[in-house]
Amino acid sequence: MSKPVILTVDDDPSVSRAVARDLRRRYAEEFRIVRAESGPLALDALAELKLRGDDTAVLLADHRMPEMTGVEFLERAMDLYPFARRVLLTAYADTDAAIQAINVVDLDHYLLKPWNPPEEKFYPVIDAQVDAWRRTERRRPADLRVVGHRWSARSYEVRDFLARNQVPYTFLLDTVPEAVELVKAAGSPDLPLVVTADGSFLAAPSDAELAAAVGLTTEAGADFYDLVVVGAGPAGLGAAVYGASEGLRTVLIEQHASGGQAGQSSRIENYLGFPDGVSGAQLADRARRQAERFGVELVTTGRVTGLEARGQARVVRQADGTEIAAHAVILATGVSYRRLTAPGLDAFTGRGVFYGAATAETPGCAGQEVFVVGGANSAGQCAVHLARTAERVHLVVRAAGLETSMSHYLIEQIAALPNVRVHCRTAVTAADGDDHLERLTLSGPDGEWTADAQYLFVFIGAEPRTDWLGADVERDAAGYVLTGPDISAPGGTAVRAPYFLETSLPGVFAAGDVRAGSIKRVAAAVGDGAMAVALVHRYLEGS
What the chain holds in terms of domains, given with CATH numbers, is: 5-135 (3.40.50.2300), 145-207 (3.40.30.10), 224-336+464-542 (3.50.50.60), 346-460 (3.50.50.60)
- For residue 12, pLDDT over 60 is answered with yes
Please compute, for residue 328, the number of CA atoms within 13 A of its CA located in the half-sphere on the CB side: 29
Which residues, in sequence order, are CB contacts of 155 under 8 Å at separation 6+?
A: 146, 148, 149, 191, 192
| Average predicted confidence (pLDDT) for the chain | 90
- For residue 139, pLDDT over 60 is answered with no
- For residue 304, pLDDT over 90 is answered with yes
pLDDT at residue number 80:
87
Contact indicator for 191, 159 with CB cutoff of 8 Å: no
pLDDT at residue number 53:
84
Q: Phi-psi category of 166—alpha, beta or left, where left has phi over 0 and alpha has psi -120 to 50?
A: left
Q: Which of 128-142, 203-217, 234-248 has the highest mean pLDDT?
A: 234-248
Which strands, in side-by-side order, build the sheet including 437-444?
A: 427-433, 437-444, 447-452
Work out the pLDDT band at 141, boundaries 50, 70, 90: very low
- For residue 197, pLDDT over 90 is answered with no
* 5-9, 112-116, 343-347: least confident range: 112-116
- For residue 337, pLDDT over 60 is answered with yes
Measured CA angle at 236 (ends 138, 157), to 5 deg: 50
434 against 142, higher pLDDT = 434
Mean pLDDT confidence for 355-368: 87
246 against 163, higher pLDDT = 246
Which residues, in sequence order, are CB contacts of 294 under 8 Å at separation 6+?
A: 241, 244, 245
Mean pLDDT confidence for 497-520: 94
- For residue 448, pLDDT over 70 is answered with yes
For 236, which DSSP code? H
Q: Crossing angle of helices 377-386/408-415, nearest 10°?
A: 30
137 against 134, higher pLDDT = 134
Neighbours of 142 (CB within 10 A): 10
Work out the pLDDT band at 93, boundaries 50, 70, 90: low
272 against 425, higher pLDDT = 425
- Under DSSP, is residue 276 helix (H, G, I), strand (E, B) or coil? coil
Mean pLDDT confidence for 192-197: 91
- For residue 72, pLDDT over 90 is answered with no
User: What is the C-alpha to C-alpha distance for residues 74 and 70, in angstroms, rounded to an integer?
Assistant: 6
